[in-house]
């Protein structure tokens, strides 16, 4: 293992091991490997195809050492990253900080977090704020693998340290994250999407999780196809250290991108940076329905020696779901279609409620239907999400915020509506008038209210353990 958590501190120990076993009870990190075809690492940086990517992301250290590039190898781009760092240093020498550069065709955004500099070069129409939010996700994903305390300590000891040594094998996790940022609406709304499920079925699964507990277990999470099924938490988790959507996004991405976590029972340290950026949780990851691998169980503990205790919890959960046939509802569940809603000419929508009770507000959620024609292809899907991003940029503009936008083109009509109760992006077929769109959205809102218990987790179930330490340790502070 590379790092160890000691209630608020990190210890630099040794290089990570590439050796993988079925069980790693002492917190050894699983190698994060993904199909190499998903990576742009070997792409020639001198070609036109490399230049024509819609977005590039670079990570480098304050000393100008390359750490990561979304497309092309860091070695081939070392001179480019050197120029970036020289520009950052030049501006800093004048007592300022470079934030962004704009041209007719590109937007370049800089984010400096401690000893790391992260840069986005984008050819699309996203705002500086949106691009900076994406860079923050990249930074947080790196922190989730190493912890912020360790990153700072390493560069305090050696400013020229090559961080790629510690991130070796994890580049594909960052690749997967950036793919998801472009192709998943959860990053647009900074919210988590739940699997649409009857509240009785979700409650039954939550009760099973609540009964399978052990000291130091903090969160029990069920995931299906990257959608949240259920989450329960320890009662003693402090209120100012709630689990944020970004933490779940990073956790989901790590599981999705790491092939080593997709079989058997795996044990890996993971930092949830918005919960506590300096320490690890220890994650027990296992699928409840092999070989289909549709329902993933994640148990997060504060104790690095908890593997076997959590394996016992998983065994209890497995026995309960089998005896109650509780996974059948998940297996049969799919995203809903706009055809089932009864709203004329509606093609797609994103909906995020905001007038919710305190326990609901602990975890921001959204819902959307399955993308259907004409948005089935990846290209058309990205087109629609870009349209949503553009609407979000306009309606949340710092200089001229708005409450409602009606946007019509020859391809589609989008109505964006933000109130104190919700944030809604509704896409209709072209030629729909503003009055008609508002009338149909009113119908949509009634349907969403009716289906609220199925589409959202309206309360976060809790359980109580008998901790081996005082309750403050559960905050990882």
Instruction: Specify whether 73 is located in the same domain as 95.
Output: yes
The answer to whether the beta carbons of residues 24 and 266 sit under 8 Å apart is yes
CA quadruple 368, 373, 376, 380: dihedral positive or negative? Answer: negative
- How many whole angstroms separate alpha carbon 120 and alpha carbon 107? 8
Q: Is residue 156 part of a domain?
A: yes
The answer to whether the beta carbons of residues 59 and 138 sit under 8 Å apart is yes
**Which of 7-11, 262-266, 425-429 shows the lowest mean pLDDT across its residues?**
7-11
Model confidence at 41, pLDDT cuts 50, 70, 90, reads: low
Does position 210 have pLDDT exceeding 90, yes or no? yes
- How many whole angstroms separate alpha carbon 88 and alpha carbon 195? 43
Q: Which of 168, 184, 215 is the last residue of a domain?
A: 168
Q: Is residue 8 part of a domain?
A: no
Instruction: Specify whether 158 is located in the same domain as 286.
Output: no
Whichever domain contains 91, its CATH number is 3.30.450.70
**How high is the pLDDT of residue 240?**
57
Q: What is the mean pLDDT of residues 221-229?
A: 94
Place of tokens 């016992």: 312
Instruction: Specify whether 356 is located in the same domain as 285.
Output: no
The secondary structure of residue 277, as a DSSP letter, is T
Q: Is residue 178 part of a domain?
A: no
**How high is the pLDDT of residue 124?**
83
Cβ within 8 Å of residue 95, ≥6 positions away: none
Does position 281 have pLDDT exceeding 90, yes or no? yes
With H, G, I as helix, E, B as strand and everything else as coil, classify residue 369. Answer: coil
Does position 263 have pLDDT exceeding 90, yes or no? no
- Structural domains of the chain, count: 3
Does position 264 have pLDDT exceeding 90, yes or no? no
The secondary structure of residue 302, as a DSSP letter, is S
Instruction: Specify whether 234 is located in the same domain as 88.
Output: no
**How high is the pLDDT of residue 115?**
93
Helix (H) or strand (E) holding 104, with range, is none
**How high is the pLDDT of residue 462?**
82
**How high is the pLDDT of residue 105?**
86
Place of tokens 């990153």: 151
339-385, pLDDT tens digit by residue? Answer: 989 999 999 999 999 865 544 456 899 999 999 999 999 999 999 99
Does position 33 have pLDDT exceeding 60, yes or no? no
Q: What is the mean pLDDT of residues 401-408?
A: 93
Does position 418 have pLDDT exceeding 80, yes or no? yes
With H, G, I as helix, E, B as strand and everything else as coil, classify residue 4. Answer: strand
Identify the CA nearest to 219 among candidates 461, 32, 454. Answer: 461
**How high is the pLDDT of residue 380?**
94
Residue 421: CB atoms within 10 A of its CB come to: 11
Q: Show the tokens assigned to 284.
A: 């027990």
pTM: 0.85
**How high is the pLDDT of residue 43?**
67
Whichever domain contains 285, its CATH number is 3.30.450.30
298-316, pLDDT tens digit by residue? Answer: 999 999 999 999 999 999 9
Does position 11 have pLDDT exceeding 70, yes or no? no
For residue 351, give Cα distances in angstroms to 154, 342, 443, 444. 42, 16, 13, 10
Instruction: Specify whether 223 is located in the same domain as 330.
Output: yes
* Burial bucket for residue 323 (CB in 10 Å: 0-12, 13-18, 19+): exposed
**How high is the pLDDT of residue 28?**
45
Phi and psi (nearest 5°) for 378? -60, -40
Q: Is residue 127 part of a domain?
A: yes
Three-state SS string over 105-122 comes to: CCEEEEEEECCEEEEEEE
The answer to whether the beta carbons of residues 359 and 459 sit under 8 Å apart is yes
Instruction: Specify whether 39 is located in the same domain as 148.
Output: yes
Instruction: Specify whether 110 is located in the same domain as 207.
Output: no
Identify the CA nearest to 327 among candidates 435, 215, 205, 237. Answer: 205
CA–chain centroid gap for 240, Å, is 20
Model confidence at 87, pLDDT cuts 50, 70, 90, reads: confident
Quote the domain boundaries for residue 113.
34-168
Instruction: Specify whether 200 is located in the same domain as 259.
Output: yes
Whichever domain contains 440, its CATH number is 3.30.450
For residue 159, give Cα distances in angstroms to 10, 88, 112, 153, 154. 18, 16, 15, 10, 8
- How many whole angstroms separate alpha carbon 117 and alpha carbon 85? 8
Instruction: Specify whether 396 is located in the same domain as 439.
Output: yes
**How high is the pLDDT of residue 31?**
45
Instruction: Specify whether 402 is located in the same domain as 257.
Output: no
Instruction: Specify whether 201 is located in the same domain as 141.
Output: no
- How many whole angstroms separate alpha carbon 408 and alpha carbon 126? 19
**How high is the pLDDT of residue 259?**
79
Q: Is residue 374 part of a domain?
A: yes
- How many whole angstroms separate alpha carbon 275 and alpha carbon 256? 21
Q: Is residue 222 part of a domain?
A: yes
Q: Say what angle helices 148-157 and 128-146 make with each other, to 10 degrees.
A: 80
**How high is the pLDDT of residue 97?**
82
**What integer best gives the mean pLDDT of the chain?**
84
Q: Say what angle helices 171-183 and 128-146 make with each other, to 10 degrees.
A: 150
Strands 227-234 and 462-463: parallel
| Strand ranges, E, within 252-307 | 265-270, 281-287, 295-301
Q: Which of 109, 134, 168 is the last residue of a domain?
A: 168
Q: Is residue 3 part of a domain?
A: no
- How many whole angstroms separate alpha carbon 65 and alpha carbon 311? 41
The secondary structure of residue 255, as a DSSP letter, is H
- State percent of the chain over pLDDT 70: 84
Instruction: Specify whether 222 is located in the same domain as 118.
Output: no
């Amino acid at each position: 293992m590379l790092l160890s958590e000691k209630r608020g501190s990190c210890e630099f120990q040794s290089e990570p091991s590439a050796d993988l076993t079925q069980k790693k009870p002492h917190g050894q990190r699983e190698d994060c490997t993904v199909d190499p075809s998903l990576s742009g690492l070997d792409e020639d940086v001198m070609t036109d195809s490399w230049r024509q990517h819609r977005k590039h992301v670079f990570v480098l250290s304050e000393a100008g050492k390359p750490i990561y590039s979304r497309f092309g190898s860091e070695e081939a781009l070392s001179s480019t990253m050197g120029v970036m760092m020289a520009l950052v240093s030049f501006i800093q020498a004048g007592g300022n900080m470079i934030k962004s550069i704009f041209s007719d065709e590109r937007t370049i955004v800089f984010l400096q977090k401690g000893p790391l500099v992260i840069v986005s070069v984008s050819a699309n129409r996203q705002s500086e704020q949106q691009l900076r939010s994406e860079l923050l996700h990249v930074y947080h994903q790196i922190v989730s693998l190493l912890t912020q305390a360790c990153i700072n300590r390493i560069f305090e000891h050696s400013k020229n340290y090559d961080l790629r040594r510690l991130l070796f094998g994890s580049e594909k996790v960052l690749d997967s994250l950036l793919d998801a940022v472009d192709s998943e609406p959860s990053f647009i709304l900074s919210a988590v999407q739940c699997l649409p499920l009857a509240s009785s079925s979700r409650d039954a699964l939550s009760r099973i999780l609540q009964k399978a507990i052990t000291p130091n277990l903090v969160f029990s999470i069920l995931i299906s196809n990257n959608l949240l099924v259920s989450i329960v938490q320890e009662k003693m988790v402090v209120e100012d250290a709630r689990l944020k959507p970004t933490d779940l996004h990073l956790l989901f991405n790590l599981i999705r991108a790491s092939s080593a976590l997709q079989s058997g029972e795996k044990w890996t340290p993971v930092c949830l940076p918005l919960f506590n950026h300096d320490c690890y949780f220890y994650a027990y990851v296992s699928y409840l329905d092999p070989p289909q691998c549709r329902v993933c169980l994640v148990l997060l503990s504060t104790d690095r020696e908890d593997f076997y205790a959590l394996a016992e919890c998983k065994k209890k959960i497995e026995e309960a779901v089998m005896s109650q046939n509780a996974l059948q509802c998940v297996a049969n569940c799919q995203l809903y279609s706009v055809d089932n809603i009864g709203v004329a000419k509606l093609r797609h929508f994103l909906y995020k409620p905001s007038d919710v009770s305190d326990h609901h507000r602990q975890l921001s959620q959204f819902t959307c239907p399955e993308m259907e024609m004409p948005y089935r292809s990846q290209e058309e899907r990205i087109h629609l999400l870009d349209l949503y991003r553009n609407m979000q940029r306009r309606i949340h503009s710092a200089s001229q915020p708005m409450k409602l936008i009606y946007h019509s083109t020859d391809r589609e009509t989008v109505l964006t509506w933000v109130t104190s109760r919700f944030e809604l992006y509704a896409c209709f077929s072209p030629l729909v008038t503003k009055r008609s769109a508002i009338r149909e959205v009113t119908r949509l809102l009634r349907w969403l209210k009716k289906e609220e218990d199925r589409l959202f987790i309206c309360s976060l179930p809790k359980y109580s353990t008998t901790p081996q330490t005082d309750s403050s340790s559960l905050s990882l502070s």
